[in-house]
């Protein structure tokens, strides 16, 4: 797994259809036959890997406060679904291990490692490696982050786990850094052009772009030959991919 020629990557599950980073969203990504689902992790006050995008619980739950200041018990008491739609009332914020147990064998996983407002979380990479290995998911996980220190630490401690650099600002020759550091590239869709894809592929580097949600945004990326695309709507991406390859006679 993680090596399919084109990866349909559900963003925070399938967050166009269900509350992001909840079990309902991951179930929807599986239902829509995405190849991989992305999620985000923060570290709780008591050292648990909390699946949530923001550094606080304010936006996506009925609670308040920073994840790093709350215990797992406090976070588990929050409603993470009602804000999206009434039918999702009672959805909880999961921990990474729960998600892994649910999705294993059904869909690949992209774990994005987040930082707190104070900076990178000490110990989060050790906890992440432990969870990946405990669930025997080394072959079906890609770890990504905007924070290079996390990726450096992961490459040093667990070179057998695949990693990718997330970035949203242009910099010179990202493919060269990818080769030097041993990681793939996850650029914002606005940074993808033919040179990036060609130079990366010439060096064996995968390029997965994020996060178009409209067909007209997805098609140029597919035409450029990216290896995967993250989106809130996996079903739209699949349809665009099929239509493009049907036109070319390459299905």
Q: 199 near 224, Cβ under 8 Å?
A: no
Q: Tell me how far apart the alpha carbons of residues 122 and 125 are, in angstroms, rounded to a whole number.
A: 8
Angle at which helices 96-103 and 124-134 cross, to 10°: 30
For the question of residue 11 being annotated catalytic, the response is yes
Cα–Cα distances in angstroms (integers) from residue 47 to residues 72, 122, 130, 203, in the given order: 8, 10, 13, 38
Q: What are phi and psi of 246, to 5 degrees?
A: -65, -40
DSSP assignment letter at 153: H
> What DSSP assignment string belongs to 62-128?
S--SBGGGS-HHHHHTS-SSTTT-GGGTT--PPBHHHHHHHHTTTSEEEEEEP-BTTBSPTTHHHHH
Alpha helices in the chain (DSSP H): 23-31, 72-76, 96-103, 124-134, 148-157, 174-181, 194-202, 215-224, 234-248
Q: 182 near 164, Cβ under 8 Å?
A: no
**Which listed residue (42, 53, 135, 186) is catalytic?**
53
Angle at which helices 96-103 and 23-31 cross, to 10°: 20
**Which listed residue (11, 17, 135, 186) is catalytic?**
11
DSSP assignment letter at 204: T
For the question of residue 53 being annotated catalytic, the response is yes
Q: What are the catalytic residues?
A: 11, 53
């Amino acid at each position: 797994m993680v090596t399919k020629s084109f990866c349909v990557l559900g963003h925070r599950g399938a967050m166009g259809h269900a509350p992001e980073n909840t079990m309902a969203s991951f179930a929807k990504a599986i239902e829509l036959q995405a190849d991989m689902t992305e999620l985000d992790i923060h570290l709780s006050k008591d050292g648990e890997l909390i699946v949530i995008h923001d550094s606080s619980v304010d936006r996506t739950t009925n609670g308040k406060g920073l994840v790093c200041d709350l215990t797992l018990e406090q976070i588990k008491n929050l409603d993470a679904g009602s804000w999206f739609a009434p039918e999702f009332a009672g959805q909880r914020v999961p921990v990474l291990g729960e998600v892994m147990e649910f999705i294993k064998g059904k869909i690949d996983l992209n774990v994005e490692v987040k930082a707190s407002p104070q900076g990178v979380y000490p110990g989060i990479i050790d906890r992440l490696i432990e969870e990946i290995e405990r669930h025997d998911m080394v072959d079906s996980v890609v770890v990504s982050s905007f924070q290079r220190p996390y990726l450096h630490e992961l490459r040093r401690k667990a070179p057998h786990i695949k990693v990718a650099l997330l970035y949203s600002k242009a910099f010179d020759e990202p493919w060269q850094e990818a080769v030097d550091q041993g990681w793939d590239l996850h650029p914002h869709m606005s940074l993808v052009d033919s040179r990036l894809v060609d130079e990366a592929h010439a060096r064996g580097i995968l390029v997965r772009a994020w996060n178009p949600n409209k067909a007209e945004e997805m098609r140029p990326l597919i035409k450029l030959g990216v290896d995967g695309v993250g989106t809130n709507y996996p079903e739209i991406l699949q349809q665009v991919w099929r239509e493009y390859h049907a036109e070319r006679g390459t299905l």
